[in-house]
Amino acid sequence: MGDVLLLNPPPQGCYQFRDILFGDTPPVDVVEFPVNLASVASSLLASGCSISVLDANALQTPFDDVLTQVEQQDPDVIVIPASSTSIEPVLTDARAIREVAPDTRQVLMGLIGPSLHRRALDVVDAISIDDHEEMISDLLSRPWDPARVDGLIWSDRGRTVINPDRPHTDLDALPFPARHLFPLDLYIHYLVKQDVHYTNMVTSRGCVHRCTFCSRSFSKRREWRGRSPANVADEFQEVSERLGIREFRVIDEDFLHDRDRVLGIAREMRERDLDVNWVITARADGIDKEIAEALASAGCFRIDIGVESANPDILRSTGKGVDLDTVSSAFSTVHEAGIAAGALLIVGLPGETWESVAQSVSFAREVGSDFTIFRSILPYPDTPLHTQAVRKGWLDENGHLSRPEFTADDVKQATTWAYRTFYLDPAFMARRAARVRGGRDARHLLRSFGKFLKFYKGLG
Ligand code: SF4
């Protein structure tokens, strides 16, 4: 194929993680580094494709300007990241692109549930669900012929075709993401540090668990696969030394899945004396003293733990397979190792009441969560939760979970209440202030607190 444009759509046209968390006016700063797009960019370059990158999200390029650029550039193919949660705005963008560039092929890359394939293929030409690097390189490094690209989902005269699976990619064989093609000084994330630039990184793929609410649960290729410790340490080293970025967010679905690998990564990083700081998200049952101490010794300064709900019945019903004692003990272990620990909670799961939301807030306080996210439940299409919600008639006109006992409006109000109650607690503020380390940390804390106060005062 000729010219390929890798496009990250602008904020107004695409799903924003923060919007799901905080509503329309988030109290925090997030400009996500699109690491998957950068990884595809790297593989396309390696296979000889001519590519350009437009991260309109980071650059805040108005969508009209994106269209003008597409019209002028007239690429042969545009690759756009998408997921089940972002599909509607992405398809709106894709339709508009089709208007100005009718001959340009469009490929979506991301975890898009089976029920949405047809809808997407009415607008775009092909979908890559996982291991995008090899699949998209295979598709675009030769004349367009989707029928011969294993793993690809495409449309043959109105019929959805799912090509035979392709073997999993050898993750160690992939070139590191082509970060240099992206505006690196624009990426910022509240989970890392708000006043320094950061990058996302992926060290493993897949998750063998099947939580009812999780968009990963419908993926039919859930096997976990990890990069080797040396390969992971190589990327930390290269990015910090060549690009000067020292703050990393590891966005694996299950980073701690393979204990020996985690200990190996920590060992490699210690031996190389890498001056980097990084955060992970983890299941509580992957954490023990040895793991926490190894992570601390390798620069991991924060672990966000998927708690989901502090009501035992609700937690059990998610299929997470972790109990509250395990979660509690994980928080103590992480704190004892000198790492900050955050609680990730969901508001509005089946069975939720105002009392159970209060339980979650109390639990986050009791375990000393340093940063808590309360996410309003959103049933993603094709998940067990979505299936249950459809069967029970719990979906409102916006696709939100709305049970007679706890409506979508209750979910929204309870999420706001939970944030306000957790963060505006004098004991939390005193505990957090006691942990301040240096001027940068203090500035970060003051700014975050100011934003939260402004935001939640506005909500009355
Ligand atoms: S919530 Fe986490 S553990 Fe559960 S299925 Fe999703 S990625 Fe796996």
Looking from the CA of residue 283, the nearest atom of ligand 1 is 3
The reply to whether CATH 1.10.3720.10 applies to domain 191-423 is no
Averaged over 154-158, what is the pLDDT? Answer: 93
Please tell me whether residue 359 adopts helix, strand or coil conformation: helix
User: Could you tell me the maximum CA-CA distance found in the chain, to the nearest angstrom?
Assistant: 64
**Whole-number pLDDT of residue 28:** 55
Q: So what's the pLDDT on residue 160?
A: 96
pLDDT at 389: 97
pLDDT in tens, 161-187: 999 999 999 999 999 999 999 999 999
pLDDT recorded at residue 2: 75
For the segment 36-57, the average pLDDT, to the nearest whole number, is 97
Ligand 1 neighbour 211 (Cβ under 6 A): yes
Given a cut of 80, whether residue 451 has pLDDT beyond it is no
- At 3, the pLDDT band (50, 70, 90 cuts) reads very high
Q: What is the pLDDT of residue 262?
A: 98
Mean pLDDT value of segment 30-40: 94
Distance 286 CA to ligand 1 centre (A): 13
Q: Residue 207 Cα, ligand 1 centroid: separation in angstroms?
A: 6
- Closest residue by Cα to atom 2, ligand 1, is 253
Structure tokens at 312: 């035992």
Q: Give residue-wise pLDDT tens across range 270-283.
A: 999 999 999 999 99
Least confident of 251-255, 259-263, 423-427: 423-427
Please state the atom number of ligand 1 nearest to the C-alpha of residue 207. 8
Beta bridge partners of 376: 347
Structural contact between residues 382 and 114, judged by C-beta atoms closer than 8 angstroms: yes
> What is the domain partition of the chain in residue ranges?
3-162, 191-423
pLDDT band at 10 (very low <50, low <70, confident <90, very high): confident
Q: 3-162 with 191-423: one CATH topology?
A: no
Ligand 1 contact via 177 beta carbon (within 6 Å) = no
Using the mean position of ligand 1's atoms as its centre, give its distance from the Cα of residue 208 in Å: 8
> Does residue 15 carry a pLDDT above 70?
no
Q: Is the pLDDT of residue 264 over 50?
A: yes
Nearest alpha carbon to residue 346 among 305, 401, 386, 308: 308
- The answer to whether the predicted template modeling score (pTM) of the entire model surpasses 0.85 is yes
Give the architecture-level CATH label for domain 3-162.
3-Layer(aba) Sandwich (3.40)
pLDDT band at 454 (very low <50, low <70, confident <90, very high): low
Contacts of 12 (CB under 8 A, 6+ apart): 62, 63
The predicted pLDDT at position 318 comes to 97
- Cα→Cα distances 96→63, 71, 87, 89, 124, Å: 9, 11, 14, 11, 11
pLDDT-derived band at 23 (thresholds 50, 70, 90) equals: very low
**Protein residue with its CA nearest to atom 3 in ligand 1:** 209
**Model pLDDT for residues 145-155, shown as the tens digit of each residue:** 999 999 999 99
Whether residue 375 has its Cβ less than 6 Å from ligand 1: no
Torsion angles phi and psi, residue 167, rounded to 5? -60, 150
Average pLDDT over residues 354-377: 96
Evaluate if residue 126 carries a pLDDT over 70.
Answer: yes
Cα of 282 from ligand 1 centre, angstroms: 9
CA 232 to chain centre: 19
pLDDT for position 394: 97
Q: Does position 255 have pLDDT exceeding 70, yes or no?
A: yes
Q: What is the number of residues in the chain?
A: 460
Mutational pocket test of ligand 1: of 85, 214, 285, 378, the residue with most ligand atoms within 8 Å of the beta carbon: 214
Find the range with the poorest average confidence among 159-163, 349-353, 450-454. Answer: 450-454
390-406 core/surface letters (b: 16 or more CB in 10 A; e: else): eeeebeeeeebbbbeeb
What's the gap in Å between 160 CA and the centre of ligand 1? 28
Q: Is the pLDDT of residue 26 over 70?
A: no
